[in-house]
Amino acid sequence: MEQHSKAEVLIQALPYIQKYYGRVVVVKYGGNAMIDEALKQAVMKDIVLLSLVGVKVVLVHGGGPEITEMLHRLGKESKFIGGLRYTDEETARVAQMVLAGRVNKDLVALLARCGGKAVGLCGMDGGILQAKKLPSEPDLGFVGEICGVDVSLIRHALDGGYIPALSTVGCDGDGQVYNINADTAASAVAAKRGAENLILMTDIKGLLRDKNDESTLIPMVAPSEVPRLKAEGIISGGMGPKVDCCVEAVRQGVKKAVIIDGRVPHSILVEMLSDEGVGTLFADPAGGAL
Amino acid sequence: MEQHSKAEVLIQALPYIQKYYGRVVVVKYGGNAMIDEALKQAVMKDIVLLSLVGVKVVLVHGGGPEITEMLHRLGKESKFIGGLRYTDEETARVAQMVLAGRVNKDLVALLARCGGKAVGLCGMDGGILQAKKLPSEPDLGFVGEICGVDVSLIRHALDGGYIPALSTVGCDGDGQVYNINADTAASAVAAKRGAENLILMTDIKGLLRDKNDESTLIPMVAPSEVPRLKAEGIISGGMGPKVDCCVEAVRQGVKKAVIIDGRVPHSILVEMLSDEGVGTLFADPAGGAL
Amino acid sequence: MEQHSKAEVLIQALPYIQKYYGRVVVVKYGGNAMIDEALKQAVMKDIVLLSLVGVKVVLVHGGGPEITEMLHRLGKESKFIGGLRYTDEETARVAQMVLAGRVNKDLVALLARCGGKAVGLCGMDGGILQAKKLPSEPDLGFVGEICGVDVSLIRHALDGGYIPALSTVGCDGDGQVYNINADTAASAVAAKRGAENLILMTDIKGLLRDKNDESTLIPMVAPSEVPRLKAEGIISGGMGPKVDCCVEAVRQGVKKAVIIDGRVPHSILVEMLSDEGVGTLFADPAGGAL
Amino acid sequence: MEQHSKAEVLIQALPYIQKYYGRVVVVKYGGNAMIDEALKQAVMKDIVLLSLVGVKVVLVHGGGPEITEMLHRLGKESKFIGGLRYTDEETARVAQMVLAGRVNKDLVALLARCGGKAVGLCGMDGGILQAKKLPSEPDLGFVGEICGVDVSLIRHALDGGYIPALSTVGCDGDGQVYNINADTAASAVAAKRGAENLILMTDIKGLLRDKNDESTLIPMVAPSEVPRLKAEGIISGGMGPKVDCCVEAVRQGVKKAVIIDGRVPHSILVEMLSDEGVGTLFADPAGGAL
Amino acid sequence: MEQHSKAEVLIQALPYIQKYYGRVVVVKYGGNAMIDEALKQAVMKDIVLLSLVGVKVVLVHGGGPEITEMLHRLGKESKFIGGLRYTDEETARVAQMVLAGRVNKDLVALLARCGGKAVGLCGMDGGILQAKKLPSEPDLGFVGEICGVDVSLIRHALDGGYIPALSTVGCDGDGQVYNINADTAASAVAAKRGAENLILMTDIKGLLRDKNDESTLIPMVAPSEVPRLKAEGIISGGMGPKVDCCVEAVRQGVKKAVIIDGRVPHSILVEMLSDEGVGTLFADPAGGAL
Amino acid sequence: MEQHSKAEVLIQALPYIQKYYGRVVVVKYGGNAMIDEALKQAVMKDIVLLSLVGVKVVLVHGGGPEITEMLHRLGKESKFIGGLRYTDEETARVAQMVLAGRVNKDLVALLARCGGKAVGLCGMDGGILQAKKLPSEPDLGFVGEICGVDVSLIRHALDGGYIPALSTVGCDGDGQVYNINADTAASAVAAKRGAENLILMTDIKGLLRDKNDESTLIPMVAPSEVPRLKAEGIISGGMGPKVDCCVEAVRQGVKKAVIIDGRVPHSILVEMLSDEGVGTLFADPAGGAL
């Protein structure tokens, strides 16, 4: 492309940059975008760019496949109950090690290579995530429920110009470690930190009316519509908890919560810096979201 | 263009944005870019975009044609001596009025319409430009020479997040107003404010080895080469003072001074946010400019 | 006068200086005080002195005679309807140029010569005055009504130790320029900025019970008395809008609004730094103004 | 006097106020001005006024007569050797009590009644004055020599908008209290705090060529002239140490040191806010003092 | 004691230090602890240590015995009415001098010798204590009642890292000096400054059920129990006003008010840095005090 | 022990606390103190206490045994060459995961349980440690040499009141991870951050003249003595590199570098808060270290 057309593209992004200037955006990073090297790079560049144009980005991530692989290498097979990992003491310890030591710090290094200034945190740093045992039947072990969020350290990092990358392991007052769902953690941090935007990256185009037909994407959902969509079975399976995270964030004041397709490069930038919304947006219709 | 290609363009600008983040850039705005409405809009959008991505832009402008036209309407013909306007008392007063009251404030309003937060200043505000009579033979009247620069107000405006637009009329201790060359003023402000970059917009592609052949553009000149280029007649006519402004700025610590073609839309963005330099760059080869 | 008596005078000013320390005072400058050179100097010195003793002075000005004269020189006669200037497109453009480029910057230069640090602003800088067409019958053209006031830039200038001088031209979202009544603008800025005091300079001693007898000055008026004074015809003609500006300012929290006689040198200082009030004071009797 | 003449007086003070704005001035208060109630009030008002117009005033005082009187009431007669008080343990204790508890706090209360915000300190607060025994023959007891000055607390008080009043008792590392000459202490504080001006109040018109003839006042002395003036006997007696304090302050960077006549009301204001210098000024002729 | 046991002791203090970190604690210093040299040193060291571990300590003191002694030396016998000193004009003046000049500054010097950075204030400095005549029958003279507290100067001193030592003499708007009860002043300052803790040092173990039996110490009292304890005669005599000060402080938001035994070395540290409460604690049972 | 003796102990620590107030101390944590649970707790409590009394502690750690164990569990035996771990790609990845994800975050959680506010960092966060391959013969794989230290993030964390815990894995510009010796990293961070004190915890009493006799401890060594002690074989084996780290830190301005015995509980506190130095101190004799 010729340079002047490129300049035009930058100019077109202007109103969107203005809209997000100085605002907090929490990105839950996951799925294919964490595995495919090209997608990974694209996401990190998106985040560094947003950070440079004045957006305060918080990167929240999980890392299920990496945990599974490490457990496997340690001779321990992963066990899932209703889609959730059964987490015994050793699994919790491995999850902490893999998420906070490998996945998280690799992201920090990658952000640095893209020119970003990042700091890798987990829920135990600065007491960001206080956890307790998630009550469940049957028992899931040390799967954590968030019982307290302290965003001081995240605020401090953002104020210092750092991009905080957060792995979602947390502990309780006795130091017991819990593995916490990353979507839930991202939603809780976004709400507590007064974020403008919560972005959940998934491996699907968004909420589809017909799961097998991407052309049936529902571009926007008001929280009040969710119960009906659940009743109709349109929100079902793994999409249920993700939608709940979005709705909860919006209820607590986050302006927009979006489920976007992480398989498409730069979907974060497209979502934020154009009016071509991608995926499914959850927002209070009266709240004035675009 | 498709959204994902657009995102790619944004991403390509990343390293350049990082390079200029928090730096001061002084843009001397003039020529066709001040007359053609589309070019005018493009320049203002470039400046607002740069301001949003963290560049501290100072916009310096003249307005010869507007002064000539107003003088004409007031029944007074402009008189030029060696390319410089003979400036009697009335002309100086009209220049102040037209530059500080019309051209300057129109730019402020245009920047606002592009989403920028601007403040229109002239050399008398906060004592930015202290002037005295430029000694000349024959006498040019109240054409001013800069004898003092105080950038406190410009710094204050930038620190408050405002884009300062500066019209280059100044006065002396007795309140006598002088019309000051805008290229010279831009160079002096860039040097005093410790700018990273001085950009002079002109109506030519840059310094040409053969004036009639744009393919003979000289992309980069070291200050030490200037005397030879003058001796060879390659730097001549109106280009001489512009080159001197660039060299002086570089001598006083400005990293890069560039003469760019204001007739091309977004030439500022192209110059700053790509490695396809436009126009002619003046820089100390040892200074490490790109 | 002997030095020790002079010192006594300074000492007598002490309690008044203490009263206004750190407070905002908006002065609408106009009338003879803008024409007579000695009065002009006296006003500027008053303002610089107040600024030095810790008062945050905002200078608001119009400039009708200068506009009329420039229009005349441009071959266009001024047209007034009910005392208000009919403002076609060209008149609005000339008003902007004369007010923001000549009158305003001349005041800045004069304040500097008196030792003040001033910055010349108009309603378009930093979006201070958002204007729209004043509805009127017959049509007055581009005479503006204030539909928004943003005092951020004025606050920023004051915090930086600068005296902001404001010419009251503003524009709407499309960049259309409007000429705005300076009394109204001063009142609006005083109210929005939480001023202690609004001072309107006029060419009359104040509100007179009998227009032809200065000994019938009414020294103080409570806002509640205004309707009766209007009914009695004591407030009439050009005094009406000025009184309305004062009342509106007081209603919005300004402690004192005063109409003073600009023909008397240093009337601002006398008003503020002595208990010999000059002119007519508008204040809420319960509000505790002196 | 009529109000407008009074305003003129204020205006005449303008350039002097500008000159001292934000500068530190150390006033050594003493002599008749500490005894006569009207003079006392006049001095305190001068100081509050200076403080309001932006001068950072430090008030340093002694209190010989009050010490003598208290000693007398306690049945102990004062003993002087060569003009200096012989200070035994009890005398030092009484001096501390009278200076820091009575004279100092009375001044603080008086400044408050004049509208000033003052804080009463002695040399022991914040370690302002570190003292040791002044070597002398014959022995003077606990008369102190300054061996260290820490102006942090004075700076802190000034930055908080307080007028620090300092009584010049100090102690050594063992807590032994010393009575310190107030002229010397004022000079040392002025030098350490980078004062613009040191003012020593006395009961004489200044340095007189003929002690008996006030018309022989020497208005200005360069430090280099002092040895000759001493040799000629013009500087002699109690004037000697005062002149030495002035010279030492000037040598250490204080711009002006002045010995003024405290018997004349408002002599501080006259000295500072007019060009009618009073008393005798010590300044480096090359240093550019007025 | 061996070093490692000593380290253990420091470690045991950890949770208490954490609890008081950054909090304000007002200590009313008095009784034997002001007379016995060893106790005095111990108290000052306690205060310096607390200050270093991040507690913001305000030291409030009286000095009855010193006043009595000085009056006696001046040939004036002290007169007490119902335990309160009859304070004529001269007594008030002597009290000011002794408290603010001797007792206060001696404490400042002692704190400095213990490594603390202190500043000695009285109620007149910065207008900390505004006083008026305490109405009483029979008349007590210039015994003051607090009618206004301004803690700005205390806050300023604490923010600068200084330990403010406050002697409780104050004055009214006419400069009349009053002697103020130090317990009352400490309580008022603690309430106004939002202190965590008020500590009143006395010469008794605390509130005793049987005055003659220290084993009957009442370790904690809820404000609501006070009337009953007074009715039973358990709170009587000099203990009454002290209890009232504690109750008033707690009512105004101070978390804990404690009457402790100043005869025991380091009782302040023991009270604050262990869970072995000493003396009698007044706290709202619902307020969550330890 | 009785409470008042305990208070005495706190008081004895006073001068040491004053000495380190606001200073940076870098503690290299390792050896038995990382394995024994009681010692671990004691160290963390020491650090939290120091942090509360105003010392800015940076905790640097390695974790060799944990790496070895994890490698073993992954079916990979550790290989050492001359005492240094041969680090292939997989080993480097495991080291990163174990150090940054397990050891580091466990310490953060433990500090939190002791009441500290900690943040767990590795050399990649904020670009703290830039590494390159350590040249060695035979090749050691990805053992890193420090080629750049950026302490901005550590400074930011300390300024925010956080205790930074640093695991010493770093990467180069290509993202290649290296395992870095923790003693070396602690020394480099101490030098770059301008630390007052570097403390290296080991499993030996200090530098012994006779390795088998603890009574031959050398309490203090000047850097200039080191070559001789090496020549005499007193510094040999693993002690060599540790001594070099100490000497290098002192050469770069660290006041004291100490090798202490981590097997003794609270050895950090004893070293810092008493004059009973423990272990061997390296300091410039002219540098004034205690």
- Judged by CB atoms closer than 8 Å, whether chains meet at C49 and D12 is answered as no
Would you kindly state where each structural domain of chain B is located, as residue ranges? Answer: 21-282
pLDDT at D288: 46
Mutation to test the A interface, candidates B16, B17, B52, most A Cβ within 10 Å: B52
The nearest alpha carbon in chain C to D41 belongs to C11
Q: Does E39 touch chain F (CB under 8 A)?
A: no
D-chain CB neighbours of C115 within 8 Å are 14-15, 18
- Which residues does chain F have within 8 Å of residue E113's beta carbon, measured at their own beta carbons? none
Reported as type and span, the H/E element at residue B129 is strand B129-133
Point out the residues of chain E with pLDDT beneath 50. 288-290
Contact flag for A and B (3+ C-beta pairs < 8 Å): yes
Tell me whether residues D265 and C4 touch, CB distance under 8 A: yes
pLDDT at C274: 78
pLDDT value for B290: 36
| 3-class secondary structure, D89 | helix
Taking only the tens place, the pLDDT of each residue in C8-24 is: 888 888 888 888 989 99
B17 and A269 within 8 Å at the Cβ level: the answer is no
Residue F288: pLDDT band with limits 50, 70, 90 = very low
Compute the distance between CA of residue A182 and CA of residue A58 in angstroms, rounded to an integer: 13
Provide φ and ψ at E266, rounded to 5°: 60, 25
| Max Cα distance, chain F (Å) | 61
Chains A and D touch, contact meaning at least 3 pairs of CB atoms under 8 angstroms apart: no
Structure tokens at A88: 């015994």
Contact E9 F12 (CB under 8 A): no
Q: Do C and B touch, counting CB pairs below 8 Å (3 needed)? A: yes
The beta-carbon neighbor of B100 closest among C101, C119, C127 is C101
Neighboring chain B residues of A49 at a CB cutoff of 8 Å? 10-11, 13-14, 17
Q: Is A126 in Cβ contact with F119 (below 8 Å)?
A: yes
Whether residue E102 and residue D124 make contact (CB cut-off 8 A), yes or no, is no
Chains B and F touch, contact meaning at least 3 pairs of CB atoms under 8 angstroms apart: no
- Whether chain E has a CB inside 8 Å of the CB on F147: the answer is no
The DSSP bridge pattern shows strands E177-180 and D169-171 to be unpaired
- A43 to chain B: nearest residue by CA? B11
State the Cα–Cα distance between residues D19 and D50, nearest whole angstrom: 12
Give me the pLDDT at residue A17, please.
Answer: 85
Q: Identify all chain F residues contacting E273, using CB atoms and an 8 Å cutoff.
A: 7, 10
Among E14, E48, E269, the residue with its CB nearest the CB of F7 is E269
- Measure CB to CB from residue F14 to each of E11, E12, E49 and give the nearest one: E49
Structural contact between residues A268 and A247, judged by C-beta atoms closer than 8 angstroms: no
Taking the CA atoms of F225, F230, F232 and F233 in sequence, report the sign of the dihedral they define: positive
Supply φ then ψ for residue D173, to 5 degrees. -65, -20
pLDDT at C120 (0 to 100): 98
Q: Which residues of F touch E269 (CB under 8 A)?
A: 7, 10-11
Chain B residues inside the 8 Å CB shell of A265: 4, 7-8
Indicate which of F5, F8, F9, F10 best probes the interface with E, i.e. most E CBs within 10 Å of its own CB. F10
Per-residue pLDDT at C287: 58
Look over chain A and give the mean of its residue pLDDT values, rounded to a whole number.
Answer: 92
In contact, E171 and D109? CB cutoff 8 Å: yes
Question: In angstroms, rounded to a whole number, what is the distance separating the alpha carbons of residues A122 and F119?
Answer: 9
Q: Given an 8 Å threshold on Cβ–Cβ distance, is F266 in contact with E8?
A: yes
Q: How many CB atoms lie within 10 A of CB C237?
A: 10
Name the neighbours of E, counting chains with at least 3 Cβ pairs within 8 A. D, F
Are residues E10 and F270, on separate chains, in Cβ contact within 8 Å?
Answer: no
Residue of C nearest to B93 (CA): C102
Residue F133: both structure tokens together: 């391959």
Please, which residues 179-238 of chain C have a Cβ atom closer than 8 Å to chain D? none
Residue stretches of chain D with pLDDT short of 70: 1, 287-290
> What is the rounded distance in angstroms from the CA atom of residue E13 to the CA atom of residue E269?
10
CATH class of E21-282: alpha beta
Longest C-alpha distance within chain A, in Å?
61
- Terminus-to-terminus CA distance in chain D, angstroms? 30
Question: Which chain B residues have a beta carbon less than 8 Å from that of A45?
Answer: 11, 14
For residue A87, the 8-state DSSP code is B
* Chain F: residue whose CA lies nearest to A159: F156
- The CA–CA distances, whole Å, from C145 to B48, C178, D16 equal 28, 8, 43
Strands (E), C135-266: 143-149, 163-167, 169-171, 177-180, 197-202, 220-221, 256-261
CA B85 to CA B69: how far, in whole Å? 13
Q: Does residue F80 contact residue F140 with C-beta atoms inside 8 Å?
A: no
Angstrom distance (rounded) from CA D121 to CA D100? 7
Return the partners of chain D (3 or more C-beta pairs < 8 Å). Answer: C, E
Chains touching chain F, criterion 3+ CB pairs below 8 Å = A, E
Please report the pLDDT score of residue B273 as a whole number: 82
Residue D244 CB contacts under 8 Å (≥ 6 apart), including other chains: none
Q: What burial class does residue C180 get, using C-beta atoms within 10 Å of its C-beta: 0-12 exposed, 13-18 middle, 19+ buried? A: buried
Question: Which value does ipTM take for this structure?
Answer: 0.93
Instruction: Check pLDDT > 60 for residue A289.
Output: no
Disruptive mutation site among A40, A105, A130, A171 for chain F (greatest number of F CBs within 10 Å): A105
Select from A9, A47, A261 the residue whose CB has the most chain B CBs within 10 Å, as the one to mutate to test that interface: A9
Quick one: E10 exposed, middle or buried, by C-beta within 10 A (0-12, 13-18, 19+)?
Answer: buried
Contacts of B215 (CB under 8 A, 6+ apart): none
3-class DSSP string for F93-146: HHHHHHHHHHHHHHHHHHHHHCCCCEEEEECCHHHCEEEEECCCCCCCECEEEE
* Average of per-residue pLDDT across A126-143: 94
Longest dimension (CA), chain D: 61
**Terminal C-alpha separation, chain A:** 30
Using an 8 Å CB-CB cutoff, list chain F residues near A112: 124, 127
Token couple for B77: 């013909």
- Could you say which residues of chain C have pLDDT below 70? 1, 287-290
Residue pLDDT, tens place only, A61-86: 999 999 999 999 999 989 998 778 99
Q: Give the list of residues 6+ apart from residue B243 with CB closer than 8 angstroms, or none.
A: B207, B221, B226, B229, B235, B259, B282
Q: How far is E113 from chain D (nearest CA, A)?
A: 7
Residues of chain D contacting residue E66, judged by C-beta atoms under 8 Å apart: none
Among E82, E174, E171, smallest CA distance to E131 is for: E171
pLDDT in tens, F143-190: 999 999 999 999 999 999 999 999 999 999 999 999 999 999 999 999
On whether the CB atoms of residues B82 and B188 are closer than 8 A, the answer is no
Strand order in the sheet with E163-167: E118-122, E163-167, E56-61, E24-29, E197-202, E256-261, E280-282, E220-221
Chain D touched by C45 (CB under 8 Å): yes
CB contact under 8 A, F52 and E48: no
Residues of B in contact with A6 (CB under 8 A): 9, 12-13, 270, 274
Return the partners of chain B (3 or more C-beta pairs < 8 Å).
A, C
Name the closest residue on chain F to residue E9, using Cα atoms: F6
Rg (C-alpha) for chain D, rounded Å, is 19
Tell me how far apart the alpha carbons of residues B287 and B289 are, in angstroms, rounded to a whole number.
6
Residue by residue, DSSP assigns D120-149 as EEETTGGG-EEEEEPP-SS--BSEEEEEEE
What is chain C's mean pLDDT, rounded?
92
CA D135 to chain centre: 23
The answer to whether the CB of C163 falls within 8 A of the CB of C110 is no
Question: Which pLDDT value is given to residue B183?
Answer: 96
What angle (nearest 5°) sits at the alpha carbon of residue E258, between those of residues E256 and E263?
155
**Which band of pLDDT confidence, cut at 50, 70 and 90, is reported for residue F42?**
very high
Chain segment E183-203, per-residue pLDDT in tens: 999 999 999 999 999 999 999
A156 touches chain B (CB under 8 A): no
With an 8 Å Cβ cutoff, are B118 and C126 in contact? yes
Chain A residues closer than 8 Å to B49 by CB = 10-11, 13-14, 17
Name which of D107, D108, D125, D168 to mutate to probe chain E: the one with the most chain E Cβ atoms within 10 A of its Cβ. D125
> Are the beta carbons of A282 and A247 closer than 8 angstroms?
yes
Quote the CA–CA distance of F217 and F278 in Å, as a whole number.
10
Task: From F129, F108, F111, F109, select the one nearest F119 (Cα to Cα).
Answer: F108
**B42–A11 CB contact, under 8 Å:** yes
- Alpha carbon distance D183, D61 (integer Å): 8
Q: What are F88's two structure tokens?
A: 């292939």
- The token pair at F85 is 């771990």
Which residues in chain B come in under a pLDDT of 70? 1, 287-290
Q: What are phi and psi of C41, to 5 degrees?
A: -60, -40
Overall size of chain F counted in residues = 290
Tokens of C262: 């600009």
Among B61, B97, B128, B129, the residue to mutate for chain C (most C Cβ within 10 A)? B97
Give the separation between CA B85 and CA F47, rounded to whole angstroms: 73
Q: Do D105 and E121 touch (CB under 8 A)?
A: no
